[in-house]
A and B are shown apart, each in its own frame.
Chain A
């Protein structure tokens, strides 16, 4: 089991609320990622970080924002939740690989978000 944690595991919240999904890893990995996954669909990268104070948007446009103040912590925030944000959010981390080969990504258990 990878040492990467996400809280909460499940969240049901009303439209317009501000929410923060937490992700922490204890492996000292520089790179961290947020993915969005709908049932039966592939994972889509929405944010990533190369290290502290580094954040980038991924392939899928998202209204969420992220921060990376500490190596081990990569929270995702939605300022005003909407029903279209209902999805599963997966956090992952990896070492900085040498060369251009992609390093192994370790995934957290995910947060299932439902916005009513």
Chain B
């Protein structure tokens, strides 16, 4: 069964600190992995996308890593800001259908305190 598991479920950090969010998946055949940021009451916005051959991708203070062998990914946030408070969702797509089906994790709810 294709699944995406994220940890931790929630996380509270102080402004300026770093944090790392984890994603494990069982989706096969694998196409790509995305990290999305979803602010409360808004739609998800893409942060990074990685294919099978990529093992790291950065977008400003966000750095995603991918280990396709162990089927794990992480999202590292550097020097957190209050505006980083949001849900971070790991999304994996397969290449086994013309739809390119997306499999969503439940997200990690990050809260940054001043």
Contacts and interface: CB of A to CB of B under 8 A. Distances in A.
Interface residues of B, number: 29
B32 A100 contact: no
Chain A facing B: main interface SS: loop
B100 interface: yes
Interface residues of A, number: 26
Contacts of A45: 101-102
Contacts of A104: 34, 46, 49
17 contacts: A31-B99, A40-B109, A42-B4, A43-B104, A99-B95, A100-B31, A100-B96, A100-B100, A101-B93, A101-B95, A102-B32, A102-B101, A104-B46, A105-B102, A107-B43, A108-B43, A109-B42
Interface of B: 4, 9, 31-32, 34, 41-46, 49, 51, 89, 93-102, 104-107, 109
